Amino acid sequence: MHSLHGNVSTPIFNHLGSSSWHSYDAAMIVRLGKGIGSHVPLFGVAAVCAAFFVIRRTKRRRVAL
């Protein structure tokens, strides 16, 4: 019954896709879904590097005290 694109038939009315006030948020959701797949490995590597940096820095501070 509900979709971002395409024909939608409800008990009250029929229309051809997303309404004008939903077009921008529908496009954003679709764009995020398409683009997120290629960025996941990059964010994963960045998170691992950040965690490694924080752990290493914390260990150095403990040794110095």
Structure confidence at residue 62 (pLDDT)? 76
Q: Is 16 exposed, middle or buried (0-12, 13-18, 19+ CB in 10 A)?
A: exposed
For the segment 4-50, what is each residue's pLDDT rounded down to a tens digit? Answer: 566 667 777 666 665 555 667 777 777 777 777 777 788 889 999 99
Distances (CA, A) of 32 to 12, 22, 58: 31, 15, 35
Query: pTM of the full predicted structure?
Result: 0.41
Handedness of CA 55, 59, 60, 65 (dihedral sign): positive
Domain positions in the chain are: 7-64
Amino acid identity of residue 55, one-letter, is I
Nearest to 1 by CA among 24, 27, 41, 14: 14
